[in-house]
């Protein structure tokens, strides 16, 4: 087996468009929140502060999409995450605390529209795993909170966001057998 395997997004152009759109949306939401707070201070309008907080809370799912499933390179020393923004990050295998099924994916019965677009013969159900990792920055805790990992830092890999997904899962199981106990086959 190869020492290094790369698992980028299957459609790199789509991934780049998605990430740029998410980044612009996040920036607009932050600027709008600041503007709402400024307006609330200039005018006696305390509800604008509530609106600013709600707008920032609505930005959390966008941040989730920005950080949760980055392209990855698997080596014997660990996983190299390649986020769209920021530097490459190494997750050492000993820092992987647990591997679980990724619960934030749609069930097959929820994807009737996708089945129509792709065709029933070509349709493939969503599969994914998440790694609960020690030492990731705070933005990775959002995925942990939304995925039921008590806001532990999480990174996920799915068959829709990574090429050669079965090989990716096999390599992770090979290098992090201490964490596989809770992952169903």
- Mean pLDDT, 10 residues at a time, the chain of 185 residues: 85 94 96 96 92 95 90 94 91 94 88 83 88 90 88 92 94 88 53
Measured distance CA(79)–CA(5) in Å, rounded? 10
pLDDT in tens, 82-123: 999 888 999 999 999 999 999 999 888 888 888 888 887 888
Structural domain count, the chain: 1
How far from 185 is each of 146, 180, 182, CA to CA, in Å? 23, 10, 10
Q: Which residues contact 89 (CB under 8 A, 6 or more apart)?
A: 80, 81, 83, 136
**Which residue range(s) make up the domain with 45?**
5-182
Measured distance CA(52)–CA(54) in Å, rounded? 5
> The pTM is what?
0.83
Contact present, 155 and 133 (Cβ < 8 Å): yes
């Amino acid at each position: 087996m190869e020492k290094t395997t790369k698992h980028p997004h299957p459609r790199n152009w789509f991934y780049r468009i998605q990430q740029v759109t998410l980044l612009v949306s996040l920036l607009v939401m932050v600027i709008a929140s600041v503007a709402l707070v400024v307006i609330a201070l200039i005018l006696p309008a305390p509800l604008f502060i509530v609106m600013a907080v709600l707008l920032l809370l609505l930005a959390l799912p966008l941040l989730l999409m920005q950080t949760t499933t980055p392209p990855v390179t698997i080596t014997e020393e660990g996983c190299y995450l390649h986020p769209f923004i920021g530097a490459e990050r190494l997750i050492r295998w000993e820092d992987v605390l647990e591997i679980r099924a990724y619960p934030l994916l749609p069930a097959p019965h929820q994807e009737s529209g996708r089945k129509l677009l792709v065709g029933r013969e070509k349709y493939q159900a969503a599969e994914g795993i998440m790694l609960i990792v020690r030492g990731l920055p705070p933005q990775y805790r959002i995925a942990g909170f939304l995925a039921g990992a008590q806001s532990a830092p999480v990174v996920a890999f799915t068959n829709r966001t990574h090429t050669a997904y079965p090989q990716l899962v096999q390599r992770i199981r090979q290098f992090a057998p201490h964490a596989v106990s809770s992952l169903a086959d």
